[in-house]
Chains A and B, each alone.
Chain A
């Protein structure tokens, strides 16, 4: 039974870097069939794709976030991570990690709320 669990600070100060990790259990992050992605949802708003990583380390980024974004994968720990620099209040959101492919859709973690505030 696949499970994805987000972890990281729930509060980040403006101008600092938001860092989250997604731990995958019940499946291998080294599978060639899937991508591993991050999605966020600001309070009361819709879903926004942040970016995704393949097990090889190849990344796909939302152009609107690309200049501040790093997504990486650690196959030895079955984890992948998100780093978003120079955050502002507009980055306050629930952040989800997910497994996805072109034809199977997204399988989601439970999400974690990150608030940007001093």
Chain B
């Protein structure tokens, strides 16, 4: 089955740029989505289809996807961005939804 690999944690100072990676075999050929999840809340879509933003999501959130790595980039990080972040895709080989293991973003 397809596996998506994320770093368990990323730390960044306020105002800096956070980059969270999602690794998978030839992931660049798929459509990748990103969610953030604050404690006790449901996940919220922040980037879809590699790099598009849903309405209401700040432009500070962007995404890219090429080769074997997809990346979520958060510019000018704020304290409110501290959350767990998950990548996700649809594996067309097995027709399964696949999630990465999640990355805890800590704002120092």
Contact = CB atoms under 8 A, between A and B. Distances in A.
Contacts of B90: 100, 102
A105 B45 contact: yes
Contacts of A107: 45
Given A102-B31, A104-B48, A105-B33, A52 B97 contact: yes
Interface residues of B, number: 22
Interface in A36-54: 37, 39, 46-49, 52
A49 B98 contact: yes
B95 A48 contact: no
Interface string A53-85: 000000010110000000000000000000000
Nearest to B89: A102
Interface residues of A, number: 22
A4 to B, nearest CB: 10
A60 B86 contact: no
Contacts of B92: 102
B41 to A, nearest CB: 8
Say whether chain B's binding surface is mostly helix, strand, loop, or mixed.
strand
Nearest to A104: B48
Given A47-B102, A48-B99, A108-B44, A63 B35 contact: no
B29 interface: no
Nearest to A50: B97
A87 interface: no
B106 interface: no
B106 to A, nearest CB: 16
Contacts of A48: 99
- Which of B88, B95, B97 has most A Cβ within 10 Å? B97
A108 B43 contact: yes
